[in-house]
Amino acid sequence: MNRFIVNTVFIALSALASFSVNAQAPDSQRIATALETLRQSINAHDYAQLEPGLDSAFTYQGRDTAMSKMIMRQVVNGYPNEITAIIVLSTSPASDAWEIAVRLDSPGESENRNVTLSSDYKIIQADIADIQLAGHGQQTSQAIPHSKAAMPAVTTVPFELADRIIVVQAEINGVAGNYLVDSGAPAIMLNKTRFSSDNLETFELDHQLPSGAGGEIRNVRAARGLELKWGAIGMQGLSGLVADLSHLEKNLGGIPVMGLIGYNVLERFQVHFDYAAQEISLFSLDDANKPLLDTGRGEPELTLPFDMMGHIPVLTVRIAGLDLKMGLDSGAAGALLFTKWQEPLRGQYEFIERSELTGGDTNVQMGDVVRIDSMQLENLNYPDMTFRFNDLAAHGDHEIPIDGLLGYEFLQTQPVAINFRARQLLLWPRGSRG
C-alpha cells in the first residue's frame, strides 16, 4: 500500500501565516510607514523625527528604556551609511507585537536585522547597529554588524527525492544533514530528536498548536535566533518550530531528517524547481520583487499571478468543467482533492487504490487514489493526473477556503518557479531546463 505524504505544517486560518496569538494579518502599509520613518530619520540624522514612533517600552539590545533611547539617538546621529531601502524579509506575530526580519540596503552592501513593532505599529526594538558601552556610562555606536548574512544573487543546490519529497543538505545552528524543502510549512521546523540544548534554545508556544494533514502536532515548542547555512546562503535571526519528527523519518524510509525549510526562508527568493535536473535555484529579489540576475532560462511558457491563503499560493485549475482553487505545496508528495468533490466528479476519474495519508502530525488517514484524465491551468493541459480524495484535519470552526493541494504530481511535470513576493508562478516548456 502506497503512502501519500503531506509534510506541510498546515495551520488553522486564524494562524495560517505564523505561530502566535496575534490572529490578525499585519497591516503591510503601516509596517512600511514605520520602517520608512526609521530609514529617513537615520539618513537625516534626525532623532526627533523618529522619537514619536518609538513605543513607550522601547529597548535597545535589552537595556532599559531611558538608556535605550539615548543609544538610539546616538545611532541615528552617527550612522555612517545611507540606507537606500529597508526590505521586509518576513513578518512573524509574537504575543502582542510583530517581529520583522529586514534587510538594510546601503550602497555596495546590505545586512539583515530585526525590528519589533507593537500592535499599533510603534517601534519596540530596532537594533540596527551593534553598540559597545564606553566608560562612565557613555555610548559608542558602531554601524558594523557583528556578522553579515550571505544573500548571493543566485544559489543553485542539488536535491534528492525521498518518497517524492525534496531533501537537501543544509545546516541550522550547527546541525548539518537532511532538510526537507516544504513551502507548506509557515516556518523552519526542526526535529527535536536531532537537536540538543547545546545548539538550540526553545520556549513554550502561547497560542494555537500548529497542525499537519491529520490534526494538531503535539509537544511543539518555538525557537528564535536560528542560523541557516544552505549552499552559499547564510541567514541569521530566523524563527522556527521544534517538534518530534521521527515519524516522518520512518515514512521516508528511515533517512535521518534534521527538519524542514519552510516559507519564512523560501519567500525571500524566486525559487526554481527543476525535478529533471534535481536542482533548486534561489534567486535573490530586488525592490520590485524581480530576480537580481537574469535567470538565463528564457521566457517562461506561462507567468500566472496567484492569490495567497496565509503562506500558501492558491491557483485556479479546471477539472471536468469545474473551477477549483488549489493550494501549492512543495511538501505534498502528490495532489489532493477534498472529499466534497468526490461525488460531483464521479464518472470523471478512474479508481486506483486506497492508501494512507500522513503529515506533520502522527495521524494516518485512509483515502481513495484516482486518476483524472485532464486538469487545465490556463492554456496548459495536464493529462492523467493522480489525485487522492481526503480532507485536511478540521481546524475549529474555520473552513479551509480551497479545494485541494498540488505538490510533486504537479511540480515535477516541467521547470517551475515560485515568486512568493511578486505572487507569480512561472512555468517553462516541458523538457527545457528551468
> Is the pLDDT reported for residue 138 higher than 60?
no
243 occurs within a structural domain: yes
Section 334-358 average pLDDT: 88
Same-domain status, 388 and 313: yes
Give the residue from 108, 142, 176 where a domain finishes. 142
Do 200 and 229 lie in one domain? The reply is yes
Mean pLDDT of 268-283: 95
Label residue 188 by pLDDT band (50, 70, 90). very high
Number of domains in the chain: 3
Domain boundary, last residue among 266, 287, 316 = 266
Share of the chain above pLDDT 70, in %: 81
Partnered with residue 386 across adjacent β-strands are: 371
Angle of the 65-78 helix axis to the 28-44 helix axis, nearest 10 = 60
Whether 310 and 219 map to the same domain: the answer is no
Mean pLDDT of all residues in 157-169: 96
- Domain of 88, CATH number, reads 3.10.450.50
**15 in a domain, yes or no?**
no
**247 and 323 share one domain:** no
Both 100 and 174 in one domain: the answer is: no
128 and 220 in a single domain? The answer is: no
pLDDT confidence of residue 419? 96
Q: What is the pLDDT of residue 39?
A: 93
Q: Dig out the grid coordinates for 244 from the structure.
A: 518530534
Average pLDDT over residues 275-294: 91
The pLDDT score that the predictor gives to residue 239 is: 84
Paired with 216 in beta bridges are 211
Cell 536535491 belongs to 159
Q: Where are the alpha helices (DSSP H) in 258-397?
A: 263-266
Asked if residue 295 is part of any domain, the answer here is no
The pLDDT of residue 355 is 75
Q: In the predicted model, is pLDDT for residue 324 greater than 80?
A: yes
pLDDT, position 237: 81
**Averaged confidence pLDDT in the chain:** 82
| 256 and 157 fall within a common domain | yes
Give me the domain span that covers residue 133.
28-142
Q: Report the relative pairing of strands 85-94 and 3-6 from DSSP bridges.
A: unpaired
pLDDT category at 431 given cuts 50, 70, 90 is confident
Do residues 262 and 307 share a domain? no
- Looking at the structure, do residues 165 and 110 belong to the same domain, yes or no? no
What CATH number should be reported for the domain holding residue 242? 2.40.70.10
